[in-house]
């Protein structure tokens, strides 16, 4: 009897030991998966590499204009270029919306190729730096995309539309814009382009907006350009949006671009839609502001496969069908909307705005060189202009 019990206990303890071993095995596998996943996750926080042109004067931080940003993931680099002679000051923002890669890439090509003779240029390629550390939920977006440059492969980040919830949380049910009191949906509270003019003691996004507006004021910026993209079906694409102050300058630039066979729509900033760069920079500072939009299939609702290739080539079969059916406002054919072409549009339009400004201010011109235009970028590819 005693021997029987001990045999049963023996079998039971064997089963328990087997369960323990299996549990330990599962824990080891789970720990290994966690380590692998956390390496991938932590890589999202590492800073991106930029290779500024030899014309670079200094690299600054946005926190210089709002010290409370120091040490936060909203602090971001400002690449400053100063010519040998004085002249006007230009500010260029990419990455206000990190899921609009042509804006960020146009700023990157600018900072890696610019030659400056007179005046000053401030370039912020990742205006919403926190948004580059995440992607938008339910979009299936890739975290990165890569380009093969002459000296090797470069990987660039593809982010979300707004600041990371890890950095600013929770969202209110309704976002009240400061100071207008305009009401928007709660998640817009993390959208930098709904936060201007911002406030020093506000949310992280409002502090970022405040810092950019302070930079414009303190550095006496004359022209400021915010580079964006939008879904191909959105009416405002391949467009320059401007404040009343920039209407004439932008109209002349659009006309000049037309002569260069590049069509741009001219849109006026609505006076009662608050928080946007082209409205608030113009209302709160002396700057002449512009916002530019290109057409980005990976943001579109009609798109099929959401991939790295769609970011770079911009070819989507569903947009091709929409194009053939004549439902698009732009020409969308087999060539798609390539990243090179979209970056080219931004840079050619930027050159056109600076050229018109210089014609209007012959005594104080901003003389820039080294910037590839639409023709060069589409012929050679954006990868040829990255160091
Ligand atoms: Zn945008």
Query: What's the gap in Å between 363 CA and the centre of ligand 1?
Result: 34
Contact indicator for 249, 121 with CB cutoff of 8 Å: no
pLDDT tens-digit map of 363-373: 999 999 999 99
32 alpha carbon, distance to own chain's centre: 34
Cα distance between residue 319 and residue 232, in whole Å: 8
Asked if 184 and 302 sit in the same domain, the reply is: yes
Distance of alpha carbon 25 from alpha carbon 67, whole angstroms: 49
* Helical ranges in the chain per DSSP H: 2-43, 101-113, 204-218, 247-259, 277-284, 308-313, 317-324, 339-360, 374-380
Report how far residue 373's alpha carbon sits from residue 348's, in angstroms, rounded to the nearest whole number. Answer: 5
State pLDDT tens for residues 283-330.
Answer: 999 999 999 999 999 999 999 999 999 999 999 999 999 999 988 888
* Domain that residue 2 falls in: 1-43
- Reported as a single tens digit per residue, the pLDDT across 114-159 is 999 999 999 999 999 999 999 999 999 999 999 999 989 999 999 9
Task: Work out how many domains the chain is built from and give that number.
Answer: 2
CA angle centred on 236, ends 125 and 97, rounded to 5°: 25
Q: Which residues have C-beta under 5 Å from ligand 1, the single-atom ion?
A: 97, 100, 228
Paired strand residues for 291: 226, 241
Ligand 1 centroid to 330 CA: how many Å? 18
Residues 321 and 284 in one domain: yes
3-state secondary structure at position 340: helix
**293 C-alpha to center of ligand 1: Å?**
7
Domain boundary among 43, 59, 75: 43
| CA 97 / ligand 1 centre spacing (Å) | 5
> Are 71 and 157 found together in one domain?
yes
Q: Are residues 3 and 71 in the same domain?
A: no
pLDDT in the model for residue 8 = 75
- For residue 364, the CA-to-ligand 1 centroid distance in Å is 31
20 and 77, same domain (yes or no): no
C-alpha torsion angle, residues 328, 334, 335, 338 (rounded to 10): 60
Question: Does 11 share its domain with 89?
Answer: no
Ligand 1 center to 128 CA (angstroms): 11
3-state secondary structure of 175: strand
151 C-alpha to ligand 1 centroid (Å): 31
Please check whether residues 52 and 35 belong to one and the same domain: no
Same domain flag for 34 and 74: no
Residues 25 and 56 in one domain: no
List % helix, strand, coil for the chain (3-state, nearest 5): 40, 20, 40
Question: What's the CATH number where 239 sits?
Answer: 3.40.630
Would you tell me how many other CB atoms lie within 10 Å of the CB of residue 108? 28
pLDDT of the residue at 16: 80
Same domain (yes/no): 37, 53:
no
What's the whole-model pTM score?
Answer: 0.92
Distance 307 CA to ligand 1 centre (A): 19
pLDDT reported for residue 240: 98
Indicate if 11 and 128 belong to the same structural domain. Answer: no
Q: Do 151 and 33 have their domain in common?
A: no
Q: Taking a C-beta distance cutoff of 8 angstroms, is the pair 217, 321 a contact?
A: no
Which pairing describes strands 115-124 and 85-93: parallel, antiparallel, or unpaired?
parallel
Give the end-to-end CA distance of the chain in Å, rounded to a whole number. 83
- CA 13–ligand 1 middle distance (angstroms): 63
């Amino acid at each position: 009897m005693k021997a029987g019990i001990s045999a049963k206990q023996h079998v039971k303890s064997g089963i328990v030991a087997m369960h323990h071993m299996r549990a330990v095995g599962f824990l080891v596998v789970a720990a290994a998966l966690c380590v692998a996943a956390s390496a991938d996750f932590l890589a999202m926080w590492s800073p991106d590499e930029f290779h500024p042109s030899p014309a670079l004067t200094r690299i600054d931080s946005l926190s210089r204009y709002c010290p409370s940003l120091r040490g936060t993931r909203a602090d971001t680099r400002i690449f400053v270029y100063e010519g040998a002679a004085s002249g006007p000051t230009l500010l260029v923002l990419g990455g206000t919306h990190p899921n609009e890669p042509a804006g960020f890439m146009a700023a990157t090509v600018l900072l890696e190729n610019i030659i400056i003779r007179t005046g000053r240029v401030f370039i912020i390629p990742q205006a919403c730096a926190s948004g580059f550390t995440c992607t938008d939920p339910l979009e299936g977006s890739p975290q990165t995309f890569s380009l093969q440059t002459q000296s090797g492969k470069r990987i660039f980040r593809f982010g979300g539309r707004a600041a990371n919830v890890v950095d600013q949380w929770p969202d209110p049910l309704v976002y009240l814009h400061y100071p207008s009191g305009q009401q928007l949906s709660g998640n817009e509270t993390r959208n930098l382009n709904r936060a201007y003019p911002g406030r020093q003691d506000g949310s992280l996004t409002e502090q970022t907006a405040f810092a950019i507006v302070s930079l414009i004021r303190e550095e006496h910026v004359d022209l400021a350009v915010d580079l964006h993209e939008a879904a191909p079906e959105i009416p405002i694409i391949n467009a320059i949006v401007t404040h009343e102050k920039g209407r004439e300058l932008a109209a002349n630039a659009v006309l000049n671009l037309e002569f260069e066979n590049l069509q741009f729509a001219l849109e006026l900033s609505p006076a009662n839609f608050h928080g946007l760069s082209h409205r608030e920079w113009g209302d709160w500072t002396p700057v002449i502001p512009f916002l530019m939009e290109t057409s980005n299939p990976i943001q579109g609702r009609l798109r099929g496969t959401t991939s790295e290739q769609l970011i770079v080539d911009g070819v989507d079969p569903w947009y091709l069908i929409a194009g053939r059916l004549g439902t698009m406002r732009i020409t969308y054919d087999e060539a798609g909307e390539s990243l090179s072409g979209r970056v080219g549009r931004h840079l050619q339009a930027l050159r056109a705005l600076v050229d018109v400004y210089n014609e209007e201010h012959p005594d104080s011109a901003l003389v820039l060189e080294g910037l590839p235009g639409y023709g060069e970028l589409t012929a050679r590819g954006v990868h040829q202009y990255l160091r």
